[in-house]
Copies of this chain bind each other. A is one copy, B any other.
Amino acid sequence: MSALDRLRQALAEVADLERSAAVLLWDEETQMPPGGVEDRANALATLRRLAHERFTAPELGRLLDAAEREVEGMPYDSDDASLVRVVRRDYELDTRIPAELVGEQARASARARPIWQEARRRSDWSMFAPAMATTVELSRRLAESVGYTGHPYDALLKLNEPGITTAQVEGFYAQLRDVIVPLLRELGAVADRVDASVMDRPCDPTIQVGFALETVRALGYDLERGRQDLSAHPFTVSFGPGDVRITTRVGRSFGDSALLSSIHEAGHAMYEQGVSRSLDRTPLCHGASPGVHESQSRLWENLVGRSRPFWEWCFPRLRAAFKEALDGVDAEGFWRAVNRVRPSYIRVDADEVTYNLHTLLRFEIEKELLEGSLDVAVVPRAWNQRVGSYLGLEVPDDAHGALQDIHWCTRLGGFVGYTLGNLIGAQLMEVVRRDVPDLDARLAEGEFRLLLEWLQQHLYRHGRKFTPNELMERVTGQAISAEPWIRYIRSKFRDVYGLARPS
């Protein structure tokens, strides 16, 4: 048996432990009775600790050394060379992180979740603050373990988005802010051109969930290898390419319906379902990074699910499902309503234009927490001040402010992935449109196969073989850039609001 085969065997065991942990987490969020919290936290901590121990064992390091010699001369993009290259990168990082820290994070995260839920229910940051202090402290220790030369945030990026630096992210945000703020002013002046009142009309939650499931199945989410459940916070989880599940949330009106949440998660799920079987039970059997993952959820949610051709296809179906609830509305009007731009408190409800401002303020707060220049107790003050200056809103309470996201139960550093995803999605879509010139006509017919196959072919099947920038260079010819998103957003929203498009 070659070293590479033995390496694959050891990695398969780690993958099994991680997938088992994923099943436990999915169950916790969708099925578990309240009494299970403590034992579940223990079981998850054990699984994650064992996975970490086994992945960072010296024996795996020796197999990796030997496998590196075996794959010498193989093509860079071959499965074997990519496996060894990515595992080497993971191994170097993970061996720097102490097993105790991994276990502590798992336990702290499981404990923080019910506290966060209760704190959000009561809208009381001070109740969550001790858990948040733990998150910050553990994230700081994580950054110290991983190491960094510039900002500690670089260490968190190194874990999530290899090849991308804090300075680059700051650069992207500076570009975006310079475009978004004047665009918001421009759209604000013609706000009355979009009538979004249909979004407040009630619609039956049970019908919504069924409609959302049928829609994502039409997009290409394979239900033989997936299912949809309800959870407070929608998410996608993969237990291997044969079982990739989504959850959704449901409200009582078109404005907070399950549909776009389900499409978002189905975007993640189709990515995971599309990873090549040859990468199964290896660390490559996932999307390339959180940012690239988010590019797929947000591509399907926004660039497809909020596009005019999508609603040309979807609106008649929606009308058939909800009947008189949609009286007096047409596809064009519904498309505009779905795209109404209005600064709001809640990130997950934000329109495409303001969305990046929500992640920007979190990115800034996280940097300051990591540096120690911001105290956990006053996070709401820092939050509310930025919501005022970026979005022009006064935050009414912590539930609509610093307590809205579950992410801080676990660790800092996750929010920039959404913005990277927005940029990557727009950048990819420019290339799709070049390769599939009649894309809009196909989408308007409910023919999503061409798009899905393009993404499977160029992106999904590669799993984690390439870094985000490697992928983008292979597929689009250049590294991640903010320009395509800026072109997209300027063009689309001037169209939504009936303004002259920029020349």
Contact = CB atoms under 8 A, between A and B. Distances in A.
Contacts of A34: 224-225
B239 A36 contact: yes
Contacts of A47: 16-17, 20
A38 interface: yes
A5 to B, nearest CB: 16
A46 B225 contact: no
A225 B36 contact: yes
A206 interface: no
Contact of A20 (B20, B35, B37): B20
B43 A19 contact: yes
A106 to B, nearest CB: 11
Contacts of A224: 33-35
Interface centre among A39, A226, A227 (most CB of B within 10 A): A39
A45 to B, nearest CB: 8
A42 interface: yes
A202 interface: no
A242 B37 contact: yes
B46 A243 contact: no
A278 interface: no
B39 A240 contact: yes
A47 B12 CA distance: 12
Contact of A35 (B35, B242, B281): B242
Contact of A33 (B31, B42, B223): B223
A21 to B, nearest CB: 8
Contacts of A281: 39, 42
A24 B224 CA distance: 18
Given A13-B46, A42-B281, A222 B35 contact: yes
Interface centre among A33, A34, A225, A241 (most CB of B within 10 A): A33
A40 B239 contact: yes
A23 interface: yes
A242 B39 contact: yes
Interface of A: 12-13, 16-17, 19-21, 23-24, 27, 31-40, 42-43, 45-47, 50, 222-227, 239-243, 245, 280-281
14 contacts: A12-B42, A12-B46, A17-B50, A19-B43, A20-B21, A23-B27, A33-B242, A33-B245, A36-B240, A38-B242, A39-B241, A39-B280, A40-B240, A43-B240
Given A19-B39, A33-B242, A39-B240, 6 more contacts: A20-B23, A23-B24, A23-B27, A35-B226, A36-B225, A36-B239
